[in-house]
């Protein structure tokens, strides 16, 4: 669950400034932009997957004493990847909907 919390925590919240308004610079609620938040979330996903891969290698070579830690890491990586794909799909659907709007 730590990976999911890291991904969700890295995303900017709409109400971070209290009013939900977008600042004149375009970023909502602070110096951290959406691009930086997205990059941080993807870095956390990559780290979660790397940890899972490392534990899988240790389990395959017999260097891992606790198989439960690999199982948990693999489940976290799987859930974090599914969440990322769902967010991407939602963003693409939203973009397509915006492109269909008539001006």
Question: Hey, what are 9's tokens?
Answer: 């925590």
- Is the Cβ–Cβ distance between 49 and 75 less than 8 Å? no
DSSP string, the chain: -HHHHHHHHHSPPTTTTSS-PPPTTS-SSSS--HHHHHHHHHHHHHHHHHHHHHHHHHHHHT--S-HHHHHHHHHHHHHHHHHHHHHHHHHHHHHHHHHH---
**pLDDT, mean over the chain:** 81
The domain limits of the chain are 2-100
Question: Hey, what are 85's tokens?
Answer: 């794909």
pLDDT at 102: 87
Q: What distance in Å separates the CA atoms of residue 49 and residue 68, rounded to the nearest whole number?
A: 16
Digit-coded pLDDT (tens) for 30-45: 567 888 988 999 999 9
pLDDT at 84: 94
- Is the Cβ–Cβ distance between 39 and 10 less than 8 Å? no
More confident residue, 20 or 77: 77
Digit-coded pLDDT (tens) for 36-76: 988 999 999 999 999 999 999 999 999 999 999 999 999 99
């Amino acid at each position: 669950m730590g990976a999911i919390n890291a991904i969700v925590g890295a995303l900017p919240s709409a109400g971070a400034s209290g009013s939900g308004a977008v600042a004149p610079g375009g970023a909502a609620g602070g110096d951290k932009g959406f691009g930086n938040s997205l990059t941080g979330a993807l870095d956390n996903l990559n780290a979660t997957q790397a940890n899972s891969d490392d534990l899988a290698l240790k389990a395959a070579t017999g260097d891992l004493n606790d198989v439960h830690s690999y199982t948990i890491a693999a489940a976290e990586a799987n859930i974090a990847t599914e969440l990322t794909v769902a967010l991407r799909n939602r963003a693409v659907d939203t973009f397509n909907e915006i492109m269909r709007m008539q001006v």
